Amino acid sequence: MKTRLIYLFGILCFFANSAIAQVSGITFSNLPLVVISTNGLAIQDAGKITAKMKVIYNGAGNVNKPTDPGNNYDGNIGIEFRGGSSGSTVQNPYNIETRDASGGNLNVSLLGMPAENDWILLSSFDDKTFMRNTLAFQLFRKGSHYAPRTQMVEVIVNNEYQGIYLLAEKIKQDKGRVDISKLTSSDVSGDNLTGGYIFKIDSWDTTNSWQSYSAPFNYPDKVVHYVYDDPDASNLVTAQKDYLKTTLNSFESVLHSAGFANTTTGYPAWLKLNSFMDYFIVSEVSRNVNAYKKNCYYFKNKNSTDSKIHSGPVWDFDSAWKNVVGCDQYMATDGSGWSYKINDCTTNKTNSNDWIVRLLQDPVFASAVRTRYFEMRKTFLSTQYLNTFIDSVKNKAMEAQVRHYTKWPILSLSVGTSEVDAQPATYEGQVTKLKEWIQTRLTWLDAHMVGGPNSVSEIEKEFSYRIFPNPTQDLLYLESSSEIQNLEIYSSQGTCVMKKDGLGEYSTQVNVSSFSPGMYLIQLKTKSNQIIHSKLVVE
């Protein structure tokens, strides 16, 4: 009798699993799986509904099944369509918020990314290689700037397979993201009023933005609007909105003045120049049509910590790294054209502030950009590095892309952003097309990069690093603007408890969950011979 019951139970489990697999269109994957159930509720354009989510990842080399337990996350979420995408026929992106049992924010680490509660599932409908955003974010991080971390995943919503997505960090104020002070409604005077703010150029309306004091250079009839991002307009009090507007008005007055390049009173006193140089380079290497007019981010911290305006983080590269229909500089198939000249186009719904146009009128800044670009070409902008990175993503996606393009049979179609070129009918062809485009673009940039060919940069590169979170219980993240070569961690008694040599990475993470609670000392050695000492608290 017992044997028969076990047999019947096995049959029921088989048919249950088969039914799930049949409905979802997937039985297993080498990629992490994100499985979402809304319990019959319809996902909305705005306003998150409560749902359940499990994230399944059994480690490198192992398969992940929809029926597996949610070993990376299994709990409540809020979910909504991102960008008003409901009702469309394309693969929908989502905003996700991890929540506790009472519906409050729950900070969790998903797939090795620092703990937070706001996440995004970016669709791959406009990027047939699954790597345009990932590659751009990686390059910006290599310059020691924050860019959202991502993980390639496959997504199932209400037992229906949705394809390959990027699980990405949402850009926001946070120790592990844009690390600036958080404003409260009581921060209305003194140093507390001066930061932190994240703002951007993007789609706007009269409730979420303000109009710039200045018109773009050479386009006096065009207007620019800045959007309050974090905190958003509804969470800023009048004094804070006025401060941010006044600060940008003052800076733009300087930028439009005859003495704009003065090292003491001009733009160098206002801007974090490394961030503007690297934002420019990543935007131009990818020839991103949206770089300066859509999802173009800036941020500012408290004056006592850092009074300068930063460019970035980079975001939105679905329409980059390819020849797109529109203005001439984005259609060119010979690798030519400048993204920063977006205001030359007449069809923009939003306009660039043209800050970079003015900055490049200073030979010192242009020379610094040139020097920085050719430094990058020797390392993480080299053809070898880029192709190796692209191949690593391709290899990871090879099995899953078959399911994705069965769900979305678009490989040979020009969908999303219209492209000039014919569309390869295979995934391998799409990846080859991307590689060839990048090489053509780099060849053109090598010959036409701003700054004179014999110029020497007079802007000294700033060194920076981050070690977070601190205190921590498990994962510790380390980032540096110079390659980290060696890492040593010592106990309070002076005993070396961890040592890693030959890292050669701009960012790395270590697991300290086996460490006893207490105080530790971290020592980092970088390629440029900086030695960093920092205290670490393990809880």
Percent of the chain beyond pLDDT 70?
93
Q: Give the mean pLDDT of 199-222.
A: 94
Query: In the predicted model, what is the mean pLDDT of the chain?
Result: 91
Q: How confident is the model at residue 461 (pLDDT cuts 50, 70, 90)?
A: low
* CB-based contact 106:119 (threshold 8 Å): no
| Predicted pLDDT of residue 460 | 61
Q: Please name the helix (run of DSSP H) or strand (run of DSSP E) that holds residue 229, with its range, or none.
A: strand 225-230
Q: Which DSSP letter does residue 190 get?
A: G
Exposure letters 489-500 (e unless 16+ CB within 10 A, then b): bbbeeeeeebee
**Residue holding tokens 């923009």?**
348
Query: 385 — phi, psi (to 5°)?
Result: -60, -45
- One DSSP character per residue, 329-372 reads HHH-SSS---GGGGGG-S--SS----HHHHHTTSHHHHHHHHHH
Whole-number percent of the chain with pLDDT over 90: 80
Give this prediction's pTM: 0.89
**Pairing state between β 531-538 and 518-526:** antiparallel
Cis previous bond, 196, omega within 30: yes
Q: What is the pLDDT of residue 466?
A: 80
Range name among 216-220, 288-292, 364-368, 464-468 with the lowest pLDDT average: 464-468
Domain ranges of the chain: 2-123, 465-538
| Torsion, CA 176, CA 294, CA 151, CA 385, rounded to 10 | -100
Give the pLDDT of residue 455.
58
Does pLDDT of 407 surpass 80?
yes
pLDDT at 305 over 90: yes
Cα separation, 251 vs 119, in Å, equals 33
What is the predicted pLDDT for the residue at 332? 96
Structure tokens at 372: 């920085």
Q: Is the pLDDT of residue 356 over 70?
A: yes
CATH topology of domain 465-538: Immunoglobulin-like (2.60.40)
pLDDT: which is higher, 179 or 1: 179
**Coil, strand or helix at 441:** helix
- pLDDT of 18 reads 38
**Statement: residue 521 has pLDDT above 60:** yes
Burial of 111 (0-12, 13-18, 19+ CB in 10 A): middle
Q: Is the N-terminal amide bond of 216 cis, ω within 30° of 0?
A: no
Q: Which residues contact 520 (CB under 8 A, 6 or more apart)?
A: 489, 490, 491, 492, 497, 512, 535, 536, 537, 538
> What's the pLDDT at 17?
40
Upper half-sphere CA count for residue 62 (Cβ side, 13 Å) = 10
- Torsion angle (degrees, nearest 10) of CA 291, 292, 293, 296: 70
Q: How many residues does the chain have?
A: 539
Q: What per-residue confidence (pLDDT) applies to 392?
A: 97
Q: Please, which pLDDT band fits residue 347 given cuts at 50, 70 and 90?
A: confident
- Upstream peptide bond of 220 is cis (omega within 30 degrees of 0): no
User: What are 75-109's pLDDT values in tens digits?
Assistant: 999 999 997 554 455 899 999 999 999 999 999 99
Reported as a single tens digit per residue, the pLDDT across 11-43 is 334 333 433 334 457 999 999 999 999 999 999
| 37-63 residue pLDDT tens | 999 999 999 899 999 999 999 999 999
DSSP letter for each residue of 142-153: HTT-----EEEE
